[in-house]
Amino acid sequence: MSKRAVVFSLITWIILSGIACGAQIPVTDCQKLSGPGTYVLQNDIINSDAIVCINITSSDVIFQGNGHTVDGQDKPSSWGIFATSPAFTNIVVQDVIVNDWVTGISLRNTRDSAVLASSATSNRFGILPGYYNSTITNCRAVKNSQTGIYAWSNNNITIIGNIINENQYQGLYLGFSKNCTVRDNRLEGNNLGFFIVESDNNQIFNNYFNNTANVIFGTNVLDNQWNTTTRPGMNIAGGPYLAGNFWANPKGDGFSQICPDGNNDGVCDSAFSLDAKNIDQLPLSNKFLRPLPGYSDIPTDPDSDGLYEDLNANARKDFNDVVVMFNQMQWIAAHEPISAFDFNGNGRIDFNDIVKLFGEI
């Protein structure tokens, strides 16, 4: 090899290893991402008249939006970010805002792909996940004119920690899909929260539903699991256990908003049946005990009568509990289950509860 050829090979090797080590390719306008690499959006793209703005035509692509916007003109059959072929794997779209397309972000032709920390607003369809082993995590799919997150014929996908609000048809659509996990999402103010069509064996828990209609099934209703086994951990309603879902409605009389919760642990006393094959065995309640301001443990009930005399959580009744009750009366009325501190049993927190508690010390 000539000296020149050696130098050339060396330079080529340095360039290629640079790409392998994650060299970043700047993106400033709509374009094809036609080879593996990390593409980084440098600026907002506003009012683009493209049909497909960010057109991913390769596997092993990371598109990093850097918090910038990819904005279109609501043109028919348009995509903000689209991966074109079902052969593609390992695609990540992250930290991008996508507005005014028919479809905001679609990775439905891909597998082993992810949409992370991105936002889709004012599209017809917000975000479509990859068809297998893919995820949509910590995204916002809000105020789209049809569907926030649309999953059709998907297996083994996870939809976790998303805000899916105020979409005009459905917040979340799951059709012909199996073995998916839908958890830790907020679905509020959609015309319909969650539309499930011909989908089974999906695990759906720790979601916060607050829509006029929360769940509707297609004609053929199949089995799904709507809770996990109870385990410690802050749930989506702020309570101390992971279990099922929180079922609210805008009127304030959703199952989770009115269910009895005898032991104040944030899990309703009875199951919530959506359908014979779809039962949330452990729906969440909002009537759980919280630590009082300045304390880290929840009050206890030393004599097991259902009243929580031990407000300072030192496991016994003492004078300091009365002091805490006196200082925190309004906070208790606003934040705690009333029945736990209604020592005189008149249905509200009042001064006589303090007197009654003092009498027990």
Which residues are at the interface with Ca ion (CB under 5 A)?
Answer: 261, 263, 265, 267, 301, 303, 305, 307, 309-310, 312, 314, 318, 321, 342, 344, 346, 350, 353
- Buried/exposed 181-195: b ≥16 CB within 10 Å, e otherwise: bbbbbbbbbbebbbb
As a whole number of angstroms, the distance between CA 351 and CA 77 comes to 65
Closest CA to 202 of 237, 239, 245, 141: 245
CB of 188 to Ca ion, least distance (A): 24
What's the rounded Cα separation, in Å, for the pair 190 and 185?
13
Q: Which is nearer to Ca ion, 169 or 331 (CB)?
A: 331
End-to-end alpha carbon distance in the chain: 94
Which amino acid makes up residue 332? I
Nearer to Ca ion, 144 or 286 (CB): 286
Minimum distance from CB of 161 to Ca ion (Å)? 25
* Cβ burial, residue 6 (10 Å; 0-12/13-18/19+): exposed
Please say which residue, 151 or 259, places its beta carbon nearer to Ca ion: 259
CA angle 71, 133, 113 (to 5 degrees): 30
- Residue 187 Cβ vs Ca ion, minimum distance, rounded to whole Å: 23
Q: Which is nearer to Ca ion, 100 or 353 (CB)?
A: 353
CB closer to Ca ion, 129 vs 283: 283
Cβ–Cβ under 8 Å, residues 294 and 309: no
The residue among 98 and 267 lying less far from Ca ion, judged by its C-beta, is 267
Q: How far is the CB of 335 from Ca ion (least distance, A)?
A: 16
What's the closest the beta carbon of residue 280 comes to Ca ion, in angstroms?
A: 14
How many whole angstroms separate alpha carbon 10 and alpha carbon 119?
A: 42
In whole angstroms, how close is the CB of 207 to Ca ion at the nearest point? Answer: 19
